Amino acid sequence: MLSKKMEKALNEQINAEFYSSYLYLAMSAHFETGGLPGCARWMQAQAQEEWFHGMKIYGFVHERGGRVGLKAIAAPPADWASTVEVFEQVREHERKVTGLINSLLSLALKENDHATSIFLQWFVSEQVEEEASVDAVLSKLKLIGKENSSLFALDGELGQRVFTPPPAK
- In the annotated binding site for Fe cation, the residues are 17, 50, 53, 94, 127
Known binding-site residues equal 17, 50, 53, 94, 127
Distance CA 63, CA 43 (A): 30
List CB contacts of 106: < 8 A, sequence separation 6 or more: none
42: how many CB neighbours lie within 10 A of its CB? 29
3-state secondary structure 13-67: HHHHHHHHHHHHHHHHHHHHHCCCHHHHHHHHHHHHHHHHHHHHHHHHHHHCCCC
Cβ proximity of 81 and 27 under 8 Å: no
Burial label for 80, CB within 10 Å (0-12, 13-18, 19+), is middle
